Amino acid sequence: MKPTFDQLYTRLPDLLAPSMAKDHPNLPVVKEEGCYYYGVDGKEYLDFTSGIAVANTGHRHPKVVEAIKEGVDQLMHGPSGVIMYDSILRVADRLQGILPGNLDCFFFANSGTEAIEGALKLAKYVTKRPYVVSFTGCFHGRSLGALGVSTSKSKYRRFLQPNGLTYQVPYADPKSCPEGEDPAVYCVDQLEKDVEMLFDHQVTPEEVACMIVEPVLGEGGYIIPPKEWLQKVRDICDQHGILLIFDEVQTGFGRTGEWFAAQTFGVTPDIMAIAKGIASGMPLSATVASKELMSQWPMGTHGTTFGGNPLACSAALATLDVIEEENLLENSRTLGAYAVDRLEKLREKHRVIGDIRGVGLMIGIEIVDPVTGQPDGAGMMRVLDLSLEKGVLFYLCGKHQEVIRMIPPLVVSREEIERGLAVFEEAVVAYEKSLAVRG
């Protein structure tokens, strides 16, 4: 007799590595649909994680499901290059129409980390320069190349000795801006000082192949830089012949209210890494650059067996259709602004709520100690757990795991936003009462 799900779940520690299985909240589910997960316990959970910013069109959108079903009747596997097929060419053609600037040529892979690896390899190959500059707090993946530029948490790099051909400068920190000063001016000034220090004392700019940055800090805490800061990063790269890479793995496909954060902030990189929301849950990603750059990256310098899988590309085509037909960019902007406004009002009532940081439906909610105002990771986890008990799933991020990620599917309704925020406030109230009792 086959074991039941419950029986297998009790054997989880024996079956899966802790690094795969032990995340928050390890919720046992049997189905997903739209903005909801359905638990083994029979309970409905409103999902404000989108599978970590993947299900932008909602879970199992009917149009995406139908595209996969139709695709499997034709092809299940490439490999691209050995054979060529319609869906991968159509995805490339469609992406050309929505990406900024001259980003019009693609190397398809499976995951965000792979797209980052491709971007780094392309930049080094084209420039013939050895070094990469990244920004402290950014997360770019956990493979060794990507890990060399990921600094959101030191524990990700522990014992792994990522390569030494990278340097870091601080990410924009508007929160540290002195009172009365313009955060944009402050952040740009700090960047200029930090880069000058780097180039004076650690590496010459002529040796730097690229700078890589998340246009909105993701796993590191959902920090939104002033657009002037990103523009200055672009200017510095142009000044020294350094290629600029945007990691848009999390910010892409409508999350910030435009197709890509590059358009939200008005800054176009030389290379972009895209993934997550590209195919509504099917494994697909891409390293994107101009034909001019890509033409310098000849056959054999990079490769893939599964990248650009026909079914994933079919799902991507349907995903692009849904985002356009259902006006999800507008929904992201409108409901994102609405949610931030509601959260700011809650912040006035509850001292455990710190900064509210949002662009589109990419929203961070900081939880702080109500007495000291310092980041409170333990408190954040308690609010997450209390929210889950009441049927709403959020996720976490931040240096001290003090920030709640609110990243619902872009198909979310105003009523679902209201429900999620009502539950969030109930969780905050319950947590505050527990603090009063302990006090």
Orientation angle between helical segments 328-349 and 310-325, nearest 10 degrees: 70
Give residue 439's pLDDT.
Answer: 45
Mean of pLDDT values over 372-391: 97
Say whether the peptide bond before residue 130 is cis (omega within 30 degrees of 0): no
N-term to C-term CA, the chain: 53
How far apart CA 269 and CA 289 sit, in angstroms, is 9
**What is the tens place of the pLDDT at every residue in 230-245?**
999 999 999 999 999 9
**How many C-beta atoms surround the C-beta of residue 354 within 10 A?**
22
Chain centroid to CA 137: how far?
A: 13
Alpha helices in 244-304 (DSSP H): 261-265, 291-294
Residue 350 token pair: 């509850």
Question: Is pLDDT above 70 for 177?
Answer: yes
E strands of 110-249, at which residues?
131-136, 166-170, 208-213, 243-247
Contact 115, 148 (CB under 8 A): no
How far apart CA 65 and CA 79 sit, in angstroms, is 22
Mean of pLDDT values over 180-203: 97
Give residue 151's pLDDT.
Answer: 87
Alpha helices in 326-413 (DSSP H): 328-349, 377-389
Question: Is pLDDT above 70 for 437?
Answer: no
Q: What is the number of alpha carbons within 13 Å of residue 42 lying toward its C-beta?
A: 0
Question: Is pLDDT above 80 for 349?
Answer: yes
How far apart CA 231 and CA 14 sit, in angstroms, is 49
Give residue 438's pLDDT.
Answer: 56
pLDDT interval class at 434 (50, 70, 90): very high
Residue 287 token pair: 């390293």
Helix (H, G, I), strand (E, B) or coil at 138: coil
**What is the tens place of the pLDDT at every residue in 115-165?**
999 999 999 999 999 999 999 999 999 888 888 898 888 888 877 777 779
Question: Is pLDDT above 90 for 93?
Answer: yes
